[in-house]
Structure 1
């Protein structure tokens, strides 16, 4: 069975979280070990950028809705599939200017 990757997993890797669980699960990935000149300070900023990649159809996700047996509540699970087939081409032609509030 393929491992399911969540939005939080993606954000934790790109923010290079030092949490033991994250390091144990993703610490061997090249992108986790890469030295970035700048990092996003907040998880919220990283999630907004991931949402933008999804909206631009560069990252593909799957949303699973499940209704409870009583039918009164629903649960939602969001998983990342990966990059779109033409993700690199799309990324190279997009405008990537963002305004991020600093404190």
Structure 2
């Protein structure tokens, strides 16, 4: 499903379709795409405190906007999949992580 959606987003970038929201984002450029990713991230956080249906909807919105960002930066979805596979099985402990106050 994610691969199909990503492919559709890339197609919109290569072959714009009038009235397409995806093309609107590409036309506005990276700053607009980043703004939407930020907005959707905040909405996920808020939805997580509310009900499950809202959370599902907001995570879907965020996922879509992240895929648009990847397409804008010409990063294949497979690069993310590879990165996650490279992390599989690696031990991560809290001592390896920065404190939230240090971020």
Q: TM-score range by the shorter chain?
A: under 0.3
Give TM-score scaled by structure 1 length. Answer: 0.24
Give TM-score scaled by structure 2 length. Answer: 0.24
More helix by share: 2
More strand by share: 1
